[in-house]
Amino acid sequence: MKTAHLLAATYPILAVLAFAPAVPVLSSVLCLTAVLAVGALWTRALIREPLTPVARLGLTVVAGLISLPLTALVLYVIGLRIEGRALAAGLAVLATALGAYAIAGKPVDPPADPPADPPADPPADPPADPAHPGHWVGPVEHGGTTKTPRLSTAAAIGVPVVLALLIGGTATVVYQRLPHPAEPGYTSLALAGWAAGIAGPVAIPRAGLEVPLEVSSAGEPEATADLLVRIGDRAAAPSRPVAVTAGTRALRVHVPAPADGCLHPIRISLGAASTVFYGRGPFPARLVTRRGPVPC
C-alpha cells in the first residue's frame, strides 16, 4: 500500500473515533487500526532499508503504541484537554507529518542509462560465511553490504521499546513533580431505595411517606447540618440537626401529605445539599383560598 493510500485510510478512521458515538467492539477495532496505521507511517518515515516481516511488524506495533502517550503528553504541555477528539486530532497531525516526510524522502529512480555492451563475465557474488549467515542488500555494482537479520530484528524492536520506556518514564516523573491541588470537598444528598426510581409525581397518602435518602461526604470536616422538608414554599415540619461525617450513610425522612390535592414540589435539604421530587395529596385537586376552594 502506498503512503498516500495509507493516509487516506487513516483520516476517516480518526474522524469516526472523534465524532461518532462509541461502540464497544467497533471503537476498539478502529482504535487499534489507527494505532497500527500511525505505526506503519513511523516505519516508512524512519526506516529506509529492508526489514524482515517480524521486525517490521514489531516496529509498527511499538511505534503506534508510543504515539498515544506521546500525543497525550504534547496535548498536556500545550494546555489542551486530553480527550477523544483532541487525541484523534493530534494523531491526524502526527500522521500527516510522518506521511509527508515519508513521501518527501522516497528515493527517485534515476533515468535509465543507454544500453551498453554486456560484460563478458558478470562479477560473481562474494561467498557467504556459513558462520555468519546474512542477506545481500544493495545493487551489485556498488559492492553491496551484508546485514545480519537477527541484529536488524533486535534493533528494530529494541530501539522503540527503549524509546517507549524513556518517554513513559519522563512523562511519569514530570507528572509526579507537578503541583497537584487537593480535590474540593463535597456533601451530596440523593434519593435512595424506592425513591431513587421516582420518574413522575408521587401520590402521598394521608399518613405521609417515609422517603429514604443517601448522604455522601468527602474532603470536608465533620459538621452538623439541618435536615428540612419543604412542600412548595412552606416548611412541612421543624428542621432537625443531622451529623454529616465522611463517607456514605442512609437516612429516612417523613414527608407529610399536602393539605390539598394539587401538585407541589417536595424539597428535602441538608445544609447546602438538596434533592427534589413532585407529589400530590389524597384530597381533591383544589386550593383553599380566602374566597373559597378553587381548582389548582
CATH of the domain at 206: 2.60.40.2550
Residue carrying C-alpha cell 527503549? 162
Q: What is the pLDDT of residue 127?
A: 53
Q: What is the pLDDT of residue 1?
A: 73
Mean pLDDT for 137-162 is 54
Same domain, 87 and 30: yes
Same domain, 168 and 262: no
Integer Cα distance of 133 and 149 in angstroms: 8
Same domain, 37 and 168: yes
Residue 147 belongs to a domain? no
Half-sphere exposure of 252 (CA within 13 A, CB side): 6
Least Cα distance to 206 among 266, 282, 260 occurs for 282
Domain count, the chain: 2
Q: At residue 245, does pLDDT exceed 80?
A: yes
pLDDT tens per residue across span 195-234: 999 999 999 999 999 999 999 999 888 999 999 999 988 9
Mean pLDDT for 33-46 is 87
Grid cell listed for 1: 500500500
Residue-number span of the structural domain to which 265 is assigned: 186-295
Mean pLDDT for 257-261 is 85
Integer Cα distance of 42 and 62 in angstroms: 10
Q: What is the pLDDT of residue 212?
A: 95
- Number of helical (H) and strand (E) elements in the chain, helices listed first: 5, 13
Integer Cα distance of 51 and 228 in angstroms: 74
Same domain, 86 and 50: yes
- Higher pLDDT residue, 111 or 72? 72
Same domain, 56 and 167: yes
pLDDT tens per residue across span 95-136: 999 889 888 876 544 445 555 555 555 555 555 444 444 444
DSSP state of 41: H
Residue 289 belongs to a domain? yes
Q: What is the pLDDT of residue 137?
A: 45
CB 205 within 8 A of CB 187: no
Q: What is the pLDDT of residue 132?
A: 46
pLDDT tens per residue across span 177-187: 777 776 778 89
Task: Report residue 54's pLDDT band, with 50, 70 and 90 as the boundaries.
Answer: confident
Residues pairing with 286 in the sheet: 295
Same domain, 170 and 193: no
Same domain, 190 and 173: no
Same domain, 49 and 162: yes
Q: At residue 63, does pLDDT exceed 90?
A: no
CB 71 within 8 A of CB 63: no
CB 252 within 8 A of CB 213: yes
Burial of 22 (0-12, 13-18, 19+ CB in 10 A): exposed
Residue 196 belongs to a domain? yes
Mean pLDDT for 276-282 is 91
